[in-house]
Structure 1
C-alpha cells in the first residue's frame, strides 16, 4: 500500500485539451479541492503516527515498570474459602464464637 499522489503531483498534473473537452476552470477547482483533502489527510496521518508512537512508548514503559504478579492459585473453591474463614474466626474470636 503506497500513496501515489500528493498535493504537488496533483497541482502539476496537466491534461490534454480537446475540442469538446472539459471546462478547464471546473477541473482546476476540483483539483484544488482534492489537493486540500490530501493535505488534510497527510496532516491527520502524521498526527496519528505521532500518537501511535507515543502510546507504544507508554505501553513499553508501563510493561517494563509493572511488577510481575503471580496468577492466583487455581483450585480455590468456595469450600476452601469458607474453611479458611472459619479457621480465622476461631483464631480471632476463640471461645466467644460458640457462646
Structure 2
C-alpha cells in the first residue's frame, strides 16, 4: 500500500476556478467534466466509509468467534462425566463406611 494521501476533496474540485484566456477551454465543458469527477469522489468516499464499517464489523465478529473457541477449549467436564465420577466416589465412600458392599446387608 502506498502512503500517498488524497490531495483533493469533492469540495476542492467544486470550488476550483480556472483562469479564462482568449483561446482557453470551453468553460461549460470543463464544469460538466468536473461535476462528474465530484460525483465520483462522493461515491468513492461513501464506498470507503461502507467498507471501513464492514471491516470493523468483521473484525468484531472474528474476535467473538475466537473468544468462543477459547472458552470452549476451557470448558468444564461434561455432566455425564461428572455424574460418573460422583457415583464412583459415592461407591468408594459406601465401601469405606459400610464394608464391602451394602447389598450383603440388604440380603440378610
* Pair in the same fold by TM > 0.5: yes
Alignment-derived partner of residue 59 in structure 2: 56
Alignment-derived partner of residue 28 in structure 1: 31
Unaligned runs of 5+ in 1: 70-99
Aligned length: 69
RMSD over equivalenced CA pairs, Å: 1.4
Unaligned runs of 5+ in 2: 75-108
Aligned pairs for 1:1-99 within 5 A: 1-66=4-69, 67-68=72-73
Kindly report structure 1 stretches of 4+ aligned residues shifted beyond 4 Å: none
CA distance in 1 between partners of 2:31 and 2:44 (Å) = 20
Q: Identify the structure with bigger relative contact order (alpha carbons < 8 Å, sequence gap 6+).
A: 1
Which of the pair has more CA radius of gyration? 2
CA distance in 2 between partners of 1:4 and 1:39 (Å) = 14
